[in-house]
């Protein structure tokens, strides 16, 4: 290999190190001319350095080894009628509040097979306590992690990074500490607990894991996403706060990530991109989903404002504009740029071209915020019924499981046998703040629905259904 060939190789690997490579090249050339006897040794050192650089470059890839979605026990099933019955039995809601929640549930896109914590189904309802909240969270995250460890045959001692996320429930010690204690993880494990970040926190956790794995070589990261219904329930009569009672359901997911090159052979997906958008600098966006006391100043809940949909639209626009730079073909970029210039300088009434993201992805796993959100997403992105199906069926079967919902949608695609090697998957979620977050994956192999058992496997043949 000639010196010029080596230089070209290094330039191809890292454009940012152009100056240092040229300097090293000139220094080596000068040294070689005056120290011929050491040339073989220096060549060996140079080759070793290149090999090390290349291996480090490769190790920055982040692989999704596998994931598991929790399917609660049948005793946690809650039909829409049972849900309304329990609202009445609680004795805390006025008749008009119960009627309002019935309308929300009827229009929710739910089936009669979503899940709630077992204690909330008891009559009279058990008073919400810290122990009840911990019991709910532990039952979900431990079951999801147990299934993931079984699927991947991982030992807990191999976990180097742990990230947990739950928006409302943030006890001390944290959820990540609960996992460390339960599974007796090693003392050196890096722990992070994300709270208060809404339904898109699951993808924020993936982005955080990606950055950590790019620093800590030869490591495994465990990400656990869930929400807590006991601590998030609202026991008052403010309509803007009652909506969340009707939408959220029990669920959670555990995801194993790796930056070890040899794991590419057994992993399901390669992480290609993460894009995070935060519009909280605007007051209307910041206040569109907010936890506060109601007008009594005694009862806490999560209020949804009339600006929620417009905030989601703004965050989505910013997010896909950034994402488009990475994934859209040149033809779509030119169409978008042309329409933008024409609108800005020639025709103010012209509508800016919406890029066709269907050219970039085979599968769409959109957060199951609610039926209205899904309808709008299908319209804006121009998705077919088949493309929005994983999200719709997840909402129908499991409800809004918050930050874990995008994993139930991906599990649906797997159970249907849709994932083929090379397929591109777009996970998209919204959250309070207001945030819109994206993760893009590429399938590394076909996913056989017979071999890959998940939360959908025993009943996926019943779907899709009309909603």
Give the residue numbers marked as catalytic: 199, 278, 363, 367, 400
Q: Return all residues near 307 (Cβ < 8 A) that are at least 6 apart.
A: 284, 285, 287, 288
Place of tokens 């006025």: 94
Q: Return all residues near 279 (Cβ < 8 A) that are at least 6 apart.
A: 285, 311, 314, 315, 318, 433, 434, 435, 436
What size, in residues, is the chain? 467
Cα–Cα distances (Å) from 436 to 176, 266, 279, 315, in that order, read 24, 30, 9, 5
C-alpha closest to that of 361 among 430, 419, 319, 408: 419
C-alpha closest to that of 375 among 109, 44, 92: 109
C-alpha closest to that of 200 among 223, 232, 172, 225: 225
E strands, 305-434, are 363-366, 424-431
Contact 171, 131 (CB under 8 A): no
How far apart are alpha carbons 467 and 465 in whole angstroms? 6
Q: Which tokens go with 295?
A: 């007008």
The torsion angles phi and psi of 395, rounded to 5 degrees, stand at: -60, -40
Q: Fill in the DSSP letter of residue 248.
A: B
> How many Å is the maximal CA-CA distance in the chain?
94
CB atoms within 10 A of CB 80: 16
Virtual CA dihedral for 393, 395, 397, 398, nearest 10 degrees? 140
Place of tokens 């999200």: 391
Q: Which tokens go with 459?
A: 């009943």
Cα–Cα distances (Å) from 332 to 164, 246, 335, in that order, read 37, 40, 5
How does strand 363-366 pair with strand 424-431? parallel
């Amino acid at each position: 290999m000639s010196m010029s060939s080596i230089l070209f190789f290094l330039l191809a690997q890292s454009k940012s190190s152009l100056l240092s490579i040229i300097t090293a090249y000139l220094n080596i050339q000068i040294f070689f001319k005056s120290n011929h006897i050491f040339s073989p040794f220096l060549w060996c050192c140079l080759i070793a350095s290149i090999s090390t650089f290349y291996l480090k470059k490769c190790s920055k890839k982040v692989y999704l080894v596998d994931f598991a979605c929790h399917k609660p026990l049948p005793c946690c099933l809650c039909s829409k009628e049972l849900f309304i019955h329990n609202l009445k039995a609680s004795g805390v809601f006025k008749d008009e509040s119960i009627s309002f929640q019935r309308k929300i549930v009827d229009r929710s896109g739910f089936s009669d097979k979503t899940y709630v914590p077992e204690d909330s189904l008891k009559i009279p309802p058990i008073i919400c306590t810290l122990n009840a909240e911990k019991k709910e969270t532990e039952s979900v995250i431990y079951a999801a992690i147990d299934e993931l460890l079984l699927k991947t045959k991982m030992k807990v001692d191999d976990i180097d990074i742990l990230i947990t996320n739950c928006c409302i429930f943030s006890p001390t010690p944290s959820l990540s500490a609960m996992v460390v204690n339960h599974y007796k993880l090693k003392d050196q494990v890096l722990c992070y607990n994300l709270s208060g970040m809404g339904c898109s926190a699951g993808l924020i956790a993936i982005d955080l894991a990606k950055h950590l794995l790019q620093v800590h070589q030869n490591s495994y990261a465990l990400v656990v996403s869930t929400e807590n219904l006991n601590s998030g329930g609202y026991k008052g009569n403010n309509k803007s706060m009652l909506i969340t009672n009707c939408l959220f359901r029990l669920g959670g997911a555990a995801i194993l990530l790796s930056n070890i090159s040899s794991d590419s052979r057994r992993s399901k997906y390669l992480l290609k991109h993460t894009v995070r958008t935060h519009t909280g600098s605007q007051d209307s966006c910041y206040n569109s989903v907010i936890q506060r006391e109601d007008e009594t100043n005694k009862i806490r809940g999560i209020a949804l404002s009339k600006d929620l949909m417009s905030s989601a639209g703004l965050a989505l626009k910013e997010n896909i504009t950034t994402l488009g730079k990475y994934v859209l073909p040149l033809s779509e970029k030119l169409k978008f740029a042309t329409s933008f210039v024409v609108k800005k300088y020639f025709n103010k009434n012209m509508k800016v071209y919406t890029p066709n993201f269907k050219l970039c992805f085979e599968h769409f796993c959109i957060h199951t915020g609610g039926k209205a959100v899904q309808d709008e997403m299908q319209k804006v992105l121009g998705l077919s019924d088949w493309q929005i199906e994983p999200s719709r069926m997840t909402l129908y079967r499991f409800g809004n499981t918050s930050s874990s919902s995008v994993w139930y949608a991906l599990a649906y695609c797997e159970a249907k046998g849709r994932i083929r090697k090379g397929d591109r998957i777009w996970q998209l979620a919204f959250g309070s703040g207001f945030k819109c977050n994206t993760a893009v994956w590429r399938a590394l192999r076909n996913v056989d629905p017979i071999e890959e058992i998940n939360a959908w496997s025993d009943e996926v043949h019943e779907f899709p259904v009309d909603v």
